[in-house]
Amino acid sequence: MKTNRILTLAVLCLLTGGLYSCTKDKSVAEEAPKQEELSAATLAQIKAQGFSTEGARKTEGGYLVEGDILLTDENLAQKVESPNLVIAKEEQYRTTNLVTNLPQVITVSVTNLPQVYKDAAIIMINRYNALNLALTFQLATTGTTGRINIVGFYEGPSGGFITLGSAGFPSGGNPFNQIRMNTHPAAYGTNPNLNYLASVIQHEVGHCIGFRHTDYMNRAYSCGASGAGNEGTAGVGATHIPGTPTGPDANSWMLACSNGGNRTFNANDIIALNYLY
């Protein structure tokens, strides 16, 4: 069977994560996380913010939606405004929550995870910093917690999907402060690939600084038929960035589902990041 790997980024991913379709190890049992039924009022708030309520569930720190995106109670209470910025019909989208007070340096820490996660975080940092944005990243001093802290959680596949990671959106002009990475063997195996981990963390950082999934209008683009559906736009439209395509564009770092490989920034991703930061 096929297991779609959700980034969320994350959830992740992160507004997740998470990404591409890959074959699941058949020796790994389906382990459905315990679902807590959400109230009608909470589901209405999620929908009003422009997110799909399908599969939404309570998780540590808030509510996990669209596979890898963590919404806090603060997010749900915010006034709804235009939530996206488009590059192409199925490409770049942002939230109204962005990091402000530019330029600035964002420190990143890795807590209670194997060394490969720290090595992957360093690769992620180098990839972002190579773009010469007004946002730069650096590894936090040993023993300190960065403004974005990467931690682990353990959760098996459920319903043909596994969440690789999750993250949330900026608040008060600050990046979301945590990325959760799945340490279950079905996510990355027992010997995680360094560049694959770096790509997932890179995706979840995208959520932390305000990016949505690039294929939110049609998740089948990266997740296949089982992931088809519109994540939701809150019905307020979008703004196209001049100079970018008007059709789908493959291999964006913010696609909703992972192909299990090394995915970094494509040309339009770089345009979007430079436009915002």
- pLDDT for the residue numbered 120: 98
Number of helices (H), then strands (E), in the chain: 7, 12
Cα separation, 62 vs 271, in Å, equals 31
Of the candidate ranges 13-17, 105-109, 207-211, 236-240, the one whose mean pLDDT is the lowest: 13-17
Nearest-10 crossing angle of helices 115-129, 194-208: 60
- Looking at domain 2-276, its CATH class is alpha beta
Q: What is the pTM of this model?
A: 0.75
If we measure between CA atoms, which residue out of 51, 27, 52, 57 comes closest to residue 39?
57
The reported pLDDT for the residue numbered 232 is 46
Distance CA 227, CA 221 (A): 9
Q: At 175, list the tokens.
A: 């990046």
Q: In the structure encoding, which two tokens stand for residue 276, read together?
A: 């915002």
In this predicted model, which residue has the larger pLDDT, 63 or 183?
183
Q: Roughly how many angstroms between the first and final C-alpha of the chain, as a whole number?
A: 41
pLDDT (0 to 100) of residue 47: 73
List residues bridging with 108 in a β-sheet.
Answer: 139, 148
Percent of the chain with pLDDT over 70: 66
Residue range 12-66, pLDDT digits in tens: 333 333 332 222 232 334 444 455 678 888 887 777 776 767 777 788 778 877 7
Euclidean distance between CA atoms 239 and 82, whole angstroms: 9
pLDDT attached to residue 260: 83
Residue 272 main-chain phi, psi, to 5 deg: -65, -45
- How many whole angstroms separate alpha carbon 208 and alpha carbon 168? 6
- pLDDT more than 90, % of the chain: 36
> Residue 71: phi, psi to the nearest 5?
-105, 130
Map tokens 């990016």 to a residue: 211
270 torsion bin: left (phi>0), alpha (psi -120 to 50), beta (else):
alpha
Tens digits of residue pLDDT in 229-238: 444 443 333 4
pLDDT band at 88 (very low <50, low <70, confident <90, very high): very low
Higher pLDDT, 45 or 248: 45
- Specify the pLDDT at position 241: 59
d(CA 191, CA 260): 14
- pLDDT band of residue 93 (cuts 50, 70, 90) is very low
pLDDT score of 152 more than 90: yes
**Whole-number Å distance between alpha carbons of 64 and 125:** 25
Residue 69 pLDDT grade (very low, low, confident, very high; cuts 50, 70, 90): confident
- Token readout for 233 is 């736009």
What pLDDT score does 212 carry? 77
Please state, rounded to an integer, the average pLDDT across all residues of the chain: 75
